Amino acid sequence: MMMMMMLMMMMMMMMMMMMMMMMMMMMMMMMMMMMMMMMMMMMMMMMMMMMMMMMMMMVMMMMMMMMMMLMMMMMMMMMIKKKKKNMMMLMKKMMATMTMTMMMMMMMMMMMMMMLMMKMMMMMMMMMPRFYIYPSILYKI
C-alpha cells in the first residue's frame, strides 16, 4: 500500500511539474508575442512617420516650384518694362531670397527629423527593460 501511495505521489508530482512547465512555456510564448506586437507597432509608427515626412517634403517642393515660377514671371515683367541695369540688381535680390527660402526649408526638415528621432528613442526606452538603459545596475549585480 505504501509503495502504491508513493507511486501515486510521484506521479502527481510529475504531473504537477509538467503542468508548471507548460504554464511557463505558455507565459514565455505570450511574452514573446507581446514583444512581437510591440515591435510591429513600432514599425507601423515608423512607417507612418516616414510617410508624413515624405508628404511634407512634397509640399515644400511644390512651394519652392511655385516661388520659382513667380520669380520668373516677375523677371519677365521687369524685362519687358525696364532696362538691363536694373535687371542685374533684381537677379541678385531674387537669388538672395531663393537661398534664404531654401535654408528655411532645410531647417524645417531637419527639425522634423530630429523630432521623429526623439520620439523613436522615447518609444524604445519605454519598451526596453530597465537594465538596457542603466548598465551600471548590471555591473552591481
Statement: residue 98 has pLDDT above 80: no
Statement: residue 129 has pLDDT above 80: no
**In this structure, how many other beta carbons lie within 10 angstroms of the beta carbon of residue 109?**
14
**AA letter at 65:** M
Statement: residue 130 has pLDDT above 60: no
Pairwise CA distance, residues 88 & 25, whole Å: 78
Pairwise CA distance, residues 68 & 22, whole Å: 68
Measured CA angle at 117 (ends 114, 122), to 5 deg:
125
Statement: residue 138 has pLDDT above 70: no
| Closest residue by Cα to residue 110 from 61, 57, 65 | 57
Q: What is the pLDDT of residue 50?
A: 72
Q: What is the pLDDT of residue 136?
A: 55
- If pLDDT is split at 50, 70 and 90, which confidence band does 140 have? low
Helix%, strand%, coil% for the chain, nearest 5: 95, 0, 5
User: What average pLDDT is seen over the chain?
Assistant: 73
Phi and psi (nearest 5°) for 11?
-60, -45
Pairwise CA distance, residues 94 & 67, whole Å: 10
Q: What is the tens place of the pLDDT at every residue in 20-59?
A: 888 888 888 887 777 777 777 777 777 777 777 777 777 7
Statement: residue 131 has pLDDT above 60: no
CA 137 to chain centre: 29
Pairwise CA distance, residues 79 & 109, whole Å: 35
| Closest residue by Cα to residue 98 from 76, 73, 65, 62 | 65
Show the cell assigned to 140: 552591481
Q: What is the pLDDT of residue 122?
A: 72
